[in-house]
Amino acid sequence: MSAWKPKRFWKEATVAAVEGGFAVLLDGRAVKTPAKTALILPTEGLAQLVAAEWDAQEEKVLPETMPATRTANSAIDKVQVHFSEVAEMLAEYGGTDLLCYRAEGPAPLVQRQADGWDPLLEWARARYDAPLATTSGVMFVAQPPGSLAALRQALFDQTPFQLAGLHDLIAISGSLVLGLAVAEGRLSADQAFDLSRIDEHWQIEQWGTDEEAAEQETLKRQGLQEAARFHALCR
């Protein structure tokens, strides 16, 4: 959608119940995806969010200001078509999950990671029967096949719309466990983001803030928040 920036031609964006879900209408005309498929959302709440993004457009359509619309398009045009491939790709995060790789030092950072990450690994063990091993440093640690299979199944249990939202929860945080925790309501988006940035925040405390890095962090936090809202509205 990056090159698609038509001028606004409609007065009002509305939502209508249709077969299979809810459509977004621009002056009564149904919105379609970039692949020209009907944009039908699974819930009225998600359709209202997408409609609000269209209503917020001014003279020109700016896709970068329409995250829910972009994710919905992706759910229909990409995830729904290649569901297994997307789920398998995300499942690979379980084998190298951020929460399993700990610093060797200093001691305060090691403790901060343990305090933040251990409860989430315990949650994954209890919720999915998926205990995960941890290691210090960057040496690879193999995870129990049964745990990886259980986490993989959690992804295959998602709908295409849920998996589209979960994709960004996992990719931005770098953790399958954190992504699932947000999707399940165990963590808020902000909590998950802060847990994913323990190492970076430690470095900031030691060396100060880099302006460009801070801007990138703000965008990533916003992206995680948007993905969490999208996933929540799929139910």
Domains and CATH numbers, the chain: 13-66 (3.30.2180.10), 83-233 (1.10.3580.10)
DSSP state of 40: E
- Dump pLDDT digits (tens) for 192-227: 999 999 999 999 999 988 889 999 999 999 999 999
pLDDT for 6 = 76
pLDDT per residue over 148-159, tens digit each? Answer: 999 999 999 999
Cα-based distances in Å from 134 to 11, 92, 97, 224: 55, 16, 9, 25
Q: How confident is the model at residue 5 (pLDDT cuts 50, 70, 90)?
A: low
Strand partners, 26: 13, 29
Residue 100 is given by DSSP the state G
In whole numbers, what is the pLDDT of the chain averaged over residues? 95
pLDDT above 50 for 144: yes
Instruction: Name which of 38, 19, 48, 26 is nearest 233 in CA terms.
Output: 48
Residues 6+ apart with CB under 8 A from 81: none
The confidence score (pLDDT) of residue 1 equals 39
Question: Is 2 a residue whose pLDDT tops 60?
Answer: no
Which one is predicted more confidently, 118 or 6? 118
Average pLDDT over residues 46-64: 94
pLDDT at position 7: 83
β-sheet bridge partners, residue 7: 60
Question: 56-108: per-residue pLDDT in tens?
Answer: 998 888 999 999 999 999 999 999 999 999 999 999 999 999 999 999 999 99
